[in-house]
Amino acid sequence: MGADQESLWVAQARQGNQEAFAKLVEAYQVPVYNLAYRMLGSTAEAEDATQETFLRVYTRFDTYDPTRKLSSWILSIASHHCVDRLRRRRESTVSMEEIMAWRWVPDERPRPEERVVTREKSREMRRILDALPAQYRLVIVLRYWYDMSYEEIADVTESTVSAVKSRLHRARQVVASMLETEDGSDIRGDAAGESAERRLSPSAVSHSF
C-alpha cells in the first residue's frame, strides 16, 4: 500500500466512506492484533482489543492529524487501550497459548526437540512480559518486536525521546533482575542490562509468539 493510496482512503474514511475504512482496517488489523496479543497475552482479549481499537479509530477520525503517520496514530490508540485493560485487571493470570497462526512458519516442520526449544523460549518471553508493568511492557514490545526507533516509540506513546530511553533502561533492568533470579547468576549494573537486551534482541524474539 502506497502513501498516496493510504491518504486517499483516510480522506474518504473521514467523510464516512465505509469501504475506504474497511481497507484501512484490513491494512492495520494484523499489527494492531499482534500488539494487543503481546500486551495482553490472550487471543480473546487481543481480538476484543483490536475491535475496540478500530471502533475508536472510526469515531475519532476527526481528531487525526494527517501530518502524523497513520500507523503511529492507530498503534497509539491500541497501546492506550491495552494499558487501560492491564490497569483494570484485578489478577494477572494470563494463559500460555500456543504460537498464533499468523506468525512466521518455516517451510519444513521443525523436529520435536526444536519445537520444545521454541515453545520454551516463547513461554519465557511471555513470563517476562507478564511480569512487567504496563508502561514497561509497552516500550519493550515496541522496541524489540516492532523494532521501532526511540522517536517512533515516543510518537506512539505520546511521550518524549528522553522519557522513552529512561523507561526502556528501567524496563531492561527489571528484565535483568528477573533473568538473574531464574538463572541464579550474579550480573549487575550495565552488564545486567546488556544481558537482558541480548535476551530481548530481535534475533532472540523473532520466532516467539
121-152: pLDDT as tens digits: 667 778 888 888 999 999 999 998 888 999 99
110 φ, ψ to 5°? -70, 155
Give me 129's grid cell. Answer: 512480559
pLDDT band at 97 (very low <50, low <70, confident <90, very high): very low
Residue 51 has pLDDT above 90, yes or no: yes
Q: Which three cell numbers stand for residue 24?
A: 484501512
CATH number (3.30.9.10, 3.40.720.10, 1.10.10.10, 3.40.50.2000) of 103-209 reads 1.10.10.10
* Chosen CATH of 1-95 out of 1.20.1640.10, 3.40.50.1100, 1.10.1740.10, 3.30.70.100: 1.10.1740.10
Domain ranges of the chain: 1-95, 103-209
Higher pLDDT, residue 193 or 105 = 193
What's the chain's Rg over C-alpha atoms? 18
pLDDT-above-90 percentage for the chain: 46
First to last CA, the chain: 26
Long-range CB contacts for residues 123-131, cutoff 8 Å, separation at least 24: 123/96, 125/205, 125/208, 125/209, 126/41, 126/94, 126/96, 126/208, 126/209, 127/178, 128/175, 128/178, 128/179, 128/200, 129/38, 129/39, 129/41, 130/41, 130/92, 130/94, 131/174, 131/178
- Region 9-16: mean pLDDT is 90
pLDDT of the residue at 113: 46
Section 81-86 average pLDDT: 93
pLDDT bracket for residue 87 (50, 70, 90): confident
- Whether the model pTM is above 0.85: no
Report whether pLDDT(109) > 50. no
Q: Please, what is the average pLDDT of the chain?
A: 78
pLDDT above 90 (res 209): no
Question: If pLDDT is split at 50, 70 and 90, which confidence band does 36 have?
Answer: very high
